[in-house]
Structure 1
């Protein structure tokens, strides 16, 4: 059984400014802003929601199928995916576009200035979901941050095909009205958000968490270091935050967590265990910089799971 992961593939170029933005920007001159930052540290990461979730689900041994639109510059990312055994048959190249990419400059106070170019992501709506692959039927899907039209289309296609999916709006939330968010929720089987995103959804829809949870099989709300809550069948499961050995970089932790959810759903695990799998892989991710630089074997993961939660992951 496969998980069809609809979302973005992107390059993240991350630069570190060895000063503070506040010392370089004059508040009374922002109308003629013209600044330049020397950035001695730079790294380029492979990212995007579909890529990150698929990478993590692949580590867990799941059949991850990322579906996204990519640009003519995707070659290095394709080589990375091939190296790590992530399938690419549902990645569609848009020849005249660049792959989506973010340029992020961070100062010593952890403030960020980001420029994002959607590129090929804007053509996500040219992809249609599939119900079956050469390995069997698609058991579950995700609608994660992507082109606006693509997210709307894929939610409808999943619903029409009878394929349960996780609505994972993430940074795509600002693109949708309250009525559109209600429609996503009514079509989805699961909704996964962080605590800030849950507040936005409640504000735009006028629905409480309880009302949202009543419309889906499960509502998952993460709260960073405070753990997460899974609202399912009138019960709230409190999921502890797994201990991390270090706190290197939170980028991609939410995507890792969602891969853990998919793993549990594909295997039919209970919510207590599914949430703990998601929590642990999020902790493993935060120990390394970038969204796809961590690795483990399932033997190592099960050993750490037992040590952390005091029971076996079967």
Structure 2
């Protein structure tokens, strides 16, 4: 196996985030399930936007947040996601490249606008997402560069990609190329509602060896195995995945592998502001630990540190150098 050009390459829905603080009444008025991610059309997007208060706007997308976190830690990174050649698309491309991430996916010249997610953050820090996929849903196998995938130690895929058909095919193509090159493939389950939609297919990806590493939170794990028994679900995950990482909010995370089960406590925080991006940034820290061969416990600590940084401010991307933060806390970078 040749040396990798990139530590991690992520493939995801390129989504521009519009974040606003709202109360439970706003969610009720718009019939939103708190804490969920719902796919919406352009008309509903416009209706929600009209009713929103002052917003914070920034580039987002689950796998993109992860890859920006990895770059902040000092990893060599690349991203694949579809935008349109419009104003928001240009901002999106600028932001991800400015973070030090290689981004070479050709923008669409026609079709739907660059995707947007309208994220309502309630006073308890919970986020409820309403996503208009737009151009992101037109990511296709043609956007997958075999050389770039083969040159990446880990290819990281977001479960949300399973919604659009072409993106699903791109996902499978990338996994196949990665394995042929002797590389690893990671999947984040993304959302419990996403797991509800594609449970059997996700299980087949794991059991069939299409993915090697699986990231999930507790809700996603329970949804995957349709059980409220955490220990039972964890045991099943250990059988189905080469490596499984389950985040448990303030309880930290659990890592399951052939070597056994490791629990890592959460990193302490001063104030929870916004949970948007917590799982994305945890994955960034953990993947960084993996490519730096720190061992699972240190990888879990790096994940906890990155998640703790992002949940203490609005927005799903780090506001300080994660590399510097890790160094200050005695973690390997």
Q: Given the two structures, how large is their TM-score scaled by the length of structure 1?
A: 0.83
C-alpha contact 1:6 1:142 (8 A) present in aligned 2: yes
Per-residue CA deviation, residues 235-275 of structure 1 (Å, 9 max, x unaligned), is 11101100123322110111001111221121122101111
The 3 A distance-change label for structure 1 pair 24 and 288 is closer
The worse-fitting range, judged by mean Cα deviation, of 38-47 and 50-59 is: 38-47
1:247 aligns with 2:272: yes
Structure 1 residues 114 and 142: CA distance shift in structure 2, 3 A: closer
Q: Do 2:253 and 2:264's aligned partners in 1 also have CA atoms closer than 8 Å?
A: yes
Of residues 230-239 and 98-107 in structure 1, the stretch that sits farther from structure 2 once superposed is 98-107
Alignment of 1:12 onto 2:17 = yes
Q: How does 1:94-105 map to 2 (within 5 A)?
A: 94-96=108-110, 97-105=112-120
| SS of equivalent to 2:17 | strand
- Whether the 8 Å contact between 1:128 and 1:154 is mirrored in structure 2 is no
Give the equivalent residue in structure 1 for 2:83.
70
> Cα distance, 1:67 vs. partner?
0.8
1:200 is the counterpart of 2:223: yes
Q: 1:142 to 1:127 in 2, by over 3 A?
A: farther
The corresponding residue for 1:286 is 311
Q: What does the per-residue CA deviation read over 1:148-184, in whole Å, with 9 as the maximum and x for residues that have no partner?
A: 4323542354135413111112133244141x12221
Distance 1:133 1:115, change over 3 A: closer
Equivalence for 1:169: 189
Matched-pair contact (CA < 8 Å) for 1:130–1:138: no
TM-superposition CA deviations, 1:5-62 (whole Å, max 9, x none): 0111111212344783489689xxxxxxx99975442221211012201110000111
Partner residue in 2 for 1:125: 140
Give the 3-state SS of the residue equivalent to 2:119 in structure 1.
strand
Q: Which has the larger radius of gyration?
A: 1
Aligned residue in 2 for 1:185: 206
Q: Which residue of 2 aligns with 1:141?
A: 155
In 1: Cα distance, 2:60 partner to 2:146 partner: 26
Equivalent pair of 1:9/1:48 in contact (CA under 8 Å): yes
CA contact (8 A) 1:220 1:230 kept: yes
Aligned match of 2:332? 313
The alignment covers a number of residue pairs equal to: 296
- Alignment CA distance shift 1:59-1:122 (3 Å): same
CA offset digits 1:86-130 (Å, max 9, x no partner): 2212x2312222111112345667787753211112112334544
State the secondary structure of the residue aligned to 2:85. Answer: coil
Residues 71-90 of structure 1 mapped to structure 2, 5 A cutoff: 71-73=84-86, 74-89=89-104
With normalisation by structure 2, the TM-score equals 0.78
**Structure 1 gaps, min length 5:** 27-33, 307-311
Asked if 1 retains the 8 angstrom alpha-carbon contact of 2:63 and 2:157, the reply is no
**Match of 1:198, SS?**
helix
